[in-house]
Amino acid sequence: MYTLLIVEDEYLVRQGIRSLVDFKQFGIEHVYEAENGLQAWHLCQEKDFDIVLTDINMPKMNGIQLAELIKERKADTHLVFLTGYDEFDYALSAVKLGADDYLLKPFSKADVEAVLLKIKEKIDLAKKQEKLHQLAEYKEGSDLEKTIQKHLGDSSFSLKNLAQELGFSPNYLSVLIKKDLGMSFQDYLIRERMKKAKLLLLTTDLRVYEIAEQVGFEDMNYFSQRFKQVVGMTPRQYKKGETS
In order of 76, 84, 159, the CA distances from 90 in angstroms are 21, 10, 65
**pLDDT of res. 100:** 84
Residue 138 has pLDDT above 60, yes or no: no
Rounded Cα gap, residues 42 and 57, in angstroms: 18
How confident is the model over 147-193, as pLDDT tens digits?
Answer: 888 899 999 999 999 989 888 889 988 998 888 888 999 999 999 99
How confident is the model over 43-73, as pLDDT tens digits?
Answer: 999 999 999 999 988 888 888 889 888 988 8
What DSSP character marks residue 132?
A: H
**pLDDT of res. 91:** 66
pLDDT band at 139 (very low <50, low <70, confident <90, very high): very low
What is the rounded average pLDDT for all residues in the chain? 87
For the chain, the distance separating the N- and C-terminal CA atoms, rounded to the nearest angstrom, is: 8
Q: Which domains does the chain have, with CATH numbers?
A: 2-128 (3.40.50.2300), 138-240 (1.10.10.60)
